[in-house]
Amino acid sequence: MKRLVLFLCSLFSISITGCKQSSSKGVIKIVSPKETRMLLEEETIQFIDVRTPKEFDKGHIKGAQNIDYLSGRFNSEVEKLDKTKPVILYCRSGKRSAKSSKKLLNAGFAEIYDLEGGIIKWKEAGFETKF
Protein backbone atom coordinates (compact mmCIF):
# COMPACT_ATOMS: atom_id res chain seq x y z
CA MET A 1 0.00 0.00 0.00
CA LYS A 2 2.85 2.34 0.89
CA ARG A 3 4.47 1.67 -2.52
CA LEU A 4 1.20 2.49 -4.26
CA VAL A 5 0.89 5.81 -2.42
CA LEU A 6 4.49 6.71 -3.28
CA PHE A 7 3.92 5.74 -6.89
CA LEU A 8 0.76 7.84 -7.15
CA CYS A 9 2.55 10.81 -5.56
CA SER A 10 5.36 10.46 -8.09
CA LEU A 11 2.87 10.38 -10.97
CA PHE A 12 1.20 13.48 -9.60
CA SER A 13 4.50 15.35 -9.38
CA ILE A 14 5.41 14.30 -12.92
CA SER A 15 2.11 15.64 -14.22
CA ILE A 16 2.63 18.97 -12.48
CA THR A 17 6.13 19.44 -13.92
CA GLY A 18 4.87 19.56 -17.48
CA CYS A 19 4.91 15.95 -18.65
CA LYS A 20 1.23 16.05 -19.41
CA GLN A 21 -1.18 17.35 -21.93
CA SER A 22 -4.49 18.37 -20.51
CA SER A 23 -7.94 19.33 -21.57
CA SER A 24 -11.26 19.48 -19.85
CA LYS A 25 -11.76 15.85 -20.88
CA GLY A 26 -8.71 14.23 -19.32
CA VAL A 27 -4.97 13.92 -19.02
CA ILE A 28 -2.21 12.09 -20.90
CA LYS A 29 0.66 10.93 -18.69
CA ILE A 30 3.92 9.59 -20.10
CA VAL A 31 5.06 6.67 -17.93
CA SER A 32 8.26 4.62 -17.78
CA PRO A 33 8.28 0.85 -18.21
CA LYS A 34 8.66 0.47 -14.43
CA GLU A 35 5.67 2.75 -13.77
CA THR A 36 3.67 0.89 -16.41
CA ARG A 37 4.42 -2.42 -14.75
CA MET A 38 3.13 -1.05 -11.44
CA LEU A 39 -0.01 0.33 -13.10
CA LEU A 40 -0.72 -3.07 -14.64
CA GLU A 41 -1.23 -4.46 -11.14
CA GLU A 42 -4.48 -2.49 -10.92
CA GLU A 43 -7.54 -4.44 -12.02
CA THR A 44 -9.29 -1.47 -13.62
CA ILE A 45 -6.54 -0.74 -16.17
CA GLN A 46 -7.34 -1.14 -19.87
CA PHE A 47 -4.09 -2.08 -21.64
CA ILE A 48 -3.87 -1.44 -25.38
CA ASP A 49 -1.17 -2.29 -27.92
CA VAL A 50 -1.75 0.00 -30.92
CA ARG A 51 0.65 -1.81 -33.27
CA THR A 52 -0.45 -3.90 -36.23
CA PRO A 53 -1.69 -7.46 -35.64
CA LYS A 54 1.48 -8.77 -37.32
CA GLU A 55 3.67 -6.82 -34.86
CA PHE A 56 1.46 -7.92 -31.96
CA ASP A 57 1.79 -11.60 -32.93
CA LYS A 58 5.60 -11.31 -32.97
CA GLY A 59 5.54 -10.36 -29.28
CA HIS A 60 3.48 -8.19 -26.97
CA ILE A 61 3.21 -7.30 -23.31
CA LYS A 62 1.12 -9.75 -21.31
CA GLY A 63 -2.46 -8.60 -20.84
CA ALA A 64 -2.51 -6.20 -23.79
CA GLN A 65 -5.42 -5.98 -26.18
CA ASN A 66 -4.50 -5.21 -29.81
CA ILE A 67 -6.26 -2.24 -31.41
CA ASP A 68 -4.32 -1.27 -34.55
CA TYR A 69 -3.91 2.51 -34.79
CA LEU A 70 -3.35 2.23 -38.55
CA SER A 71 -6.55 0.30 -39.20
CA GLY A 72 -9.76 1.93 -40.33
CA ARG A 73 -11.48 0.46 -37.26
CA PHE A 74 -9.35 2.17 -34.61
CA ASN A 75 -11.98 4.76 -33.62
CA SER A 76 -14.84 2.26 -33.50
CA GLU A 77 -12.76 -0.22 -31.43
CA VAL A 78 -11.76 2.53 -28.99
CA GLU A 79 -15.42 3.44 -28.51
CA LYS A 80 -15.94 -0.02 -26.98
CA LEU A 81 -13.57 0.86 -24.11
CA ASP A 82 -14.74 2.36 -20.80
CA LYS A 83 -13.91 6.09 -20.84
CA THR A 84 -14.06 6.28 -17.05
CA LYS A 85 -11.34 3.66 -16.51
CA PRO A 86 -7.59 4.31 -16.95
CA VAL A 87 -5.99 3.26 -20.25
CA ILE A 88 -2.34 2.43 -20.94
CA LEU A 89 -1.24 2.61 -24.57
CA TYR A 90 1.95 1.43 -26.21
CA CYS A 91 3.41 0.80 -29.65
CA ARG A 92 6.89 0.01 -30.93
CA SER A 93 8.69 3.26 -30.03
CA GLY A 94 6.06 5.71 -28.79
CA LYS A 95 4.95 7.59 -31.90
CA ARG A 96 1.70 5.75 -32.63
CA SER A 97 0.80 5.57 -28.95
CA ALA A 98 1.26 9.36 -28.67
CA LYS A 99 -1.11 9.87 -31.61
CA SER A 100 -3.53 7.32 -30.16
CA SER A 101 -3.42 9.07 -26.77
CA LYS A 102 -4.52 12.31 -28.37
CA LYS A 103 -7.42 10.53 -30.08
CA LEU A 104 -8.52 9.04 -26.76
CA LEU A 105 -8.22 12.42 -25.08
CA ASN A 106 -10.43 13.98 -27.76
CA ALA A 107 -12.89 11.08 -27.39
CA GLY A 108 -13.38 11.93 -23.71
CA PHE A 109 -11.18 9.44 -21.87
CA ALA A 110 -10.36 10.66 -18.37
CA GLU A 111 -7.03 8.98 -17.60
CA ILE A 112 -4.56 8.01 -20.32
CA TYR A 113 -1.05 6.61 -19.84
CA ASP A 114 1.45 6.37 -22.69
CA LEU A 115 4.37 3.94 -22.27
CA GLU A 116 7.49 6.00 -22.91
CA GLY A 117 9.59 4.45 -25.69
CA GLY A 118 7.04 1.72 -26.39
CA ILE A 119 7.84 -1.98 -26.37
CA ILE A 120 11.46 -1.19 -27.26
CA LYS A 121 12.03 0.53 -23.88
CA TRP A 122 9.97 -2.17 -22.15
CA LYS A 123 12.37 -4.85 -23.44
CA GLU A 124 15.43 -2.69 -22.69
CA ALA A 125 14.21 -2.46 -19.08
CA GLY A 126 14.36 -6.26 -18.95
CA PHE A 127 10.63 -6.90 -18.87
CA GLU A 128 9.13 -9.91 -20.65
CA THR A 129 6.97 -10.10 -23.73
CA LYS A 130 4.52 -12.81 -24.70
CA PHE A 131 3.97 -14.49 -28.07
Residue 6 is predicted with a pLDDT of: 44
pLDDT in tens, 64-85: 999 999 999 999 999 999 999 9
Domain-embedded: residue 85: yes
pLDDT of 48 over the 60 cut? yes
> Percent of the chain having pLDDT more than 70?
81
Alpha carbon distance 12, 31 (integer Å): 11
Q: How far is the C-alpha of 103 from the C-alpha of 70, rounded, in Å?
A: 13
Is residue 129 situated within a structural domain? no
Domain assignment of residue 131, yes or no: no
User: Could you say which of 91, 98, 104, 105 is catalytic?
Assistant: 91
Greater pLDDT, 112 or 131? 112
The CATH number for 88's domain is 3.40.250.10
Within 13 Å of residue 31, how many CA atoms lie on the same side as its CB? Answer: 27
Contact 5, 90 (CB under 8 A): no
pTM: 0.79
In angstroms, the Cα distances linking 35 to 11, 107, 108, 125 are: 9, 24, 23, 11
Range of the domain at 93: 2-124
Has residue 6 been placed in a domain?
yes
Integer angstrom CA distances of residue 2 from 16, 44, 47: 21, 19, 24
Is the pLDDT at 105 greater than 80, yes or no?
A: yes
Active-site residue flag, 91: yes
Domain-embedded: residue 97? yes
